[in-house]
Chains A and B, each alone.
Chain A
Amino acid sequence: MTDELLAVADRVVGWANDHEQVEVVVVHEHETEVRAYDGEIESLSSAESRGVGIRVIADHRQGFAYAGTLDETVLAETLAEARDNAAFGTPDEFLALAEPDGVAVADLELVDPGLATFSTDRKVDLALDLERAVRSADSRIIGVETAEYADSMSASAVVTNTGIRTAGSETACFVMAYSLAADGDDTQTGFGFSVGKGPDAVDLDRAARDAAERATRLLGATKPSTERLTVVLDPFVTAQLLSIVGGTLTGEAVQKGRSLFAERLGESVASRLLTLVDDPTDPAAFSATETDGEGLASRRNPLIEDGVLGAFLQNTYTGRRAGTASTGSAVRGYSSTPGVGCMALALVPGDKSQAELISGIDNGLLVQGVAGLHSGVNPISGDFSTGAEGLLIRDGELAEPVREVTIASTLQRMLLDVSAVGSDLEWLPMNAAGVSLVVGDVTMSGS
């Protein structure tokens, strides 16, 4: 598949004029999604999509165009549009496409060949089995709102007339269940999932067990009164927090005056227990990738070491503007120009399990899920406030469930207030890994 994409990209790059830089990103993806409901297949979707994004830089101005097809006539049209759009950009001496920088591309196993031969019937069975497993996990499970199997095979290529020519493929498999549990009038929900490169890596039982347990253990939840306490963030919650923190540690945010860490390189910005690394070359990462969105080799980038801020992530533009270089951190789809972002962010784990962390806490809250991170967290000011559900911790034990509360602090304070990192690191279907995290002095707002 990649040869075909490279051929398309090569052809378009071949149309470049003498005085312009042209970058072509081409993607091709197959996806299957099966949803089960009430013992039947609710829907089965099979999809194939292709797309191209073309960036032109001429006279230090940038233009961009994309199309959701690789039709020959559309390719020429898209290049013409990108070229035309470039005339309206503001000249910026730092605008340039990536050039080979000598960093070797890691050889990662991102394709599970088993997926290509995994039949639709077996995918259907997985979705049906998943629903059945959630339903039978606990008598209080009254329904499964979503039981889904999904997979994708995708390939992409980046070619420029500045010497970049890369392509790669990857596969992914995913099962996810969202359960409904009831006890009397009380209803609660819970999700569970499992991901991997191929069907064999997917742990259906675990997804079902998590979906059932997360819902049933919240049954009887009440709204507690407001207080300040220590919170233990479940791995899935920590991953979402890290993803937000990662967004503040980019050259783009710093250069545009939108990072709360802009002037803090070399300073202690977090508890000395925190070492944060973005490493898309870690083959265990769900988001592992050999190259970034500009075709440069992805690489390991330590960001915070023992609490000290060490570096920001850069793409080609921000690297040039900072007077450094790209860290291989360009992120994009085919329908946008490259931004800068983390790709596979993880904390270096500690040595205690979640249960051991909890056993050391007199008064706290295990946060199982959060809601409204997009509406109550401002990554520019650092204000952090989110809806939460979970279980109270009393004298080192999990106690009664709570709902309809918020937890609030600021991103700056939370990083400093981390008092332990768990040992339970796991990669999640996002750009960050989860791990249990203990954060002190957080306000829980209830009644």
Chain B
Amino acid sequence: MIDEAIVERTLGAALRTGGDFAEVFVEDKRSSSAMYDDGKVEELTSGRDRGAGIRVVVGDTTGFAHTADLSEPGLAAAAEAAAAAARGGGGGERVVSLERRSTEPPNEVEILPETIPKASKVELLGRADSAARAQGSAISQVMARYADSRRRILVANSDGLLAGDDQVKSLFSISCVASGDTGLQTGRESIGATVGFELFDTYDIEELARRAAQRALTKLDAVPAPSGEMPVVIGKGGGGVLFHEACGHGLEADLVNKNASVFAGRVGQQVANPLVTLVDDGTMAKEWGCYAIDDEGRPAQRNTLIENGVLTDYMWDHLRARKEGRESSGNGRRQSYQHLPMVRMTNTFIGNGPDDPDDIVAGTERGVFVAQLGGGQVNTATGDFVFGMTEAYLIEDGKITAPLREGNLIGNGPEVLTRIDALGNDFAMGSPGTCGKDGQGVPVGDGTPTLRVARLTVGGTAA
């Protein structure tokens, strides 16, 4: 992607006015997408983003600059800007000699999307549209989107590290609108993986479209969701969003470090029901949040965060780990070369528990069953978090009954973790997600078996 000697000289330029650490991050990303809406292929889009981000760390201060100019003078200018921003006092020549480290990717990519004719990508969209509309005349609108990306990165730093990765992702989503006497309702499904076009050998696009359509149709009969505290059962797969918000963000070392997390200072303590073992695993083959190396050149790892309810560790990036005199956990990520890395999750999940999922519902007298979750948001300092339910039902006398209108649920992370009182044996990963933090979005995965929270506040309008 770029000559090693140029990278070495750029690091030298970055450290010319002093500095404890310097890093060059080079990215070359090509993406393509196709949008189908309202019965038409609206457009195909091709994108190209290429550039380098350079940071220089002096004490607790980071200087950062980025450039789309990858020539040696372009990189040198960015290095000088980053160095000036970091305000290093000292000086002197530093020679960096790089040593290439290679890390095996979590999985091989079989079919590079760039080798697939555009017509084949477009053809998927029309098939999805037809399958969704065939579910009933009440399906009044269908939007489908295909997207792929190939992101090649190279990271080099003043510790001599030189590493690269080639990250290929494929995504397909479909959203349906159903019209009925009660107005409009929506249903959505998406699949995504760190693979190439072979994604579509694994998944049946028509089946995905039918599921999205059914979600919208089911909700035409939805009643207002209840309001107030009650037991909430979350179906397999989707519950990962709950953990992502309830404790995932609170276990990111940058927030812990600033005392902006309710989980600060709680390593070694029982923070959850002993049923709960929470893992963040960037090495999970093909999953949406996996990679060979993170955006600081560190190999992805499997990190156990909570073991049998006891908090075992936080997630770390280079900067925060260095401050604590420990190793990064491979969680340093950034949206693009235009951003500074920070601590981010990868694929976050809870493994299987002992319970039969049917028994969990049957054992719930009155409550809510959430079949599909939307996104969520957390205030890590207070622990209060919300997540949306895009498909949910009432549970009455241990049975799933009426579909519910959409809404948010709200809870407090540390409280909810101790209120998980049933964990199923039907583990599944959820839908591909984009996690937003501090204005940067990165791809993440999550998963859980069916689980129950004994008490959670449902934000509906009915009594």
A and B, one complex? yes
Interface residues of A (CB under 8 A from B): 37-38, 40-50, 62-69, 74, 77-78, 81-82, 84-86, 88-90, 92, 120, 142-143, 145, 180, 187-189, 223, 225-226, 255-258, 260, 335-337, 371-372, 374-376, 378, 380-383, 385-387, 389, 403-410, 443, 445-447
Q: Are B377 and A47 in contact, CB atoms less than 8 angstroms apart?
A: no
Q: In the assembly, what is the distance between CA of A44 and CA of B60, in Å?
A: 11
Smallest beta-carbon distance B388→chain A, Å? 3
Q: Are B62 and A43 in contact, CB atoms less than 8 angstroms apart?
A: yes
Smallest beta-carbon distance A89→chain B, Å? 5
Q: Which residue of chain B has its CB nearest to the CB of A40?
A: B60
Q: Are A372 and B179 in contact, CB atoms less than 8 angstroms apart?
A: no
Scoring B46, B59, B86 by chain A CB atoms within 10 A of each residue's CB, the highest score goes to B46
Contacting A at CB under 8 A, from B78-110, are 81, 85-87
Q: Which of A66, A258, A389, A406 contacts B457 (CB 8 A)?
A: A406
Q: In the assembly, what is the distance between CA of A49 and CA of B66, in Å?
A: 8
Q: Are B119 and A88 in contact, CB atoms less than 8 angstroms apart?
A: yes
Chain B positions within 8 Å of A120 at CB level: 85
Chain B positions 230 through 267: 1 when the CB is less than 8 Å from some CB of chain A, otherwise 0: 00000000000000000000000001001110100000
Q: Are A387 and B410 in contact, CB atoms less than 8 angstroms apart?
A: yes
The 4 A-B pairs of least Cβ separation, nearest first, read A406-B459, A375-B388, A376-B408, A385-B407
Q: Are A335 and B47 in contact, CB atoms less than 8 angstroms apart?
A: yes
Q: Which of B60, B122, B375 contacts A372 (CB 8 A)?
A: B375
Binds A, one of B3-11, B150-158, B183-191, B202-210: B183-191
- Between-chain CB contacts (< 8 Å), 21 pairs: A41-B87, A42-B61, A42-B62, A45-B66, A46-B64, A47-B65, A49-B338, A67-B49, A68-B49, A77-B48, A86-B43, A90-B41, A90-B42, A226-B228, A257-B179, A258-B141, A375-B408, A378-B406, A381-B185, A383-B406, A387-B410
Given contacts A41-B87, A42-B62, A62-B42, contact A180 B387 (CB under 8 A): no
Q: Are B177 and A380 in contact, CB atoms less than 8 angstroms apart?
A: yes
Q: In the assembly, what is the distance between CA of A66 and CA of B258, in Å?
A: 39
Q: Which of B45, B68, B382, B457 contacts A188 (CB 8 A)?
A: B382
Q: Which of B41, B87, B405 contacts A381 (CB 8 A)?
A: B405
Scoring B42, B258, B407 by chain A CB atoms within 10 A of each residue's CB, the highest score goes to B407
Chain A positions within 8 Å of B381 at CB level: 145, 180, 187-189
Interface status of B140 (Cβ within 8 A of chain A): yes
Chain B positions within 8 Å of A62 at CB level: 42-43
Chain A positions within 8 Å of B229 at CB level: 446-447
Given contacts A44-B61, A386-B459, A408-B459, contact A381 B406 (CB under 8 A): yes
Q: In the assembly, what is the distance between CA of A412 and CA of B335, in Å?
A: 37
Contacting A at CB under 8 A, from B439-463, are 457-461
Q: In the assembly, what is the distance between CA of A69 and CA of B186, in Å?
A: 38
Smallest beta-carbon distance B376→chain A, Å? 6
Q: Are B61 and A49 in contact, CB atoms less than 8 angstroms apart?
A: no
Besides the contacts A89-B41, A337-B43, what 7 more A-B pairs have beta carbons closer than 8 Å? A40-B59, A63-B44, A64-B45, A372-B376, A375-B408, A387-B459, A389-B384
Smallest beta-carbon distance B338→chain A, Å? 6
Q: Are A37 and B258 in contact, CB atoms less than 8 angstroms apart?
A: yes
Q: Which residue of chain B has its CB nearest to the CB of A52?
A: B48
Chain A positions within 8 Å of B119 at CB level: 88
Chain B positions 136 through 156: 1 when the CB is less than 8 Å from some CB of chain A, otherwise 0: 000011010000000000000
Chain B positions within 8 Å of A446 at CB level: 228-229, 457
Q: In the assembly, what is the distance between CA of A65 and CA of B32, in Å?
A: 9
Chain B positions 23 through 52: 1 when the CB is less than 8 Å from some CB of chain A, otherwise 0: 000000000001001111111111111110
Q: Which of B184, B379, B461 contacts A371 (CB 8 A)?
A: B379
Smallest beta-carbon distance A193→chain B, Å? 14
Scoring B38, B43, B143, B183 by chain A CB atoms within 10 A of each residue's CB, the highest score goes to B43
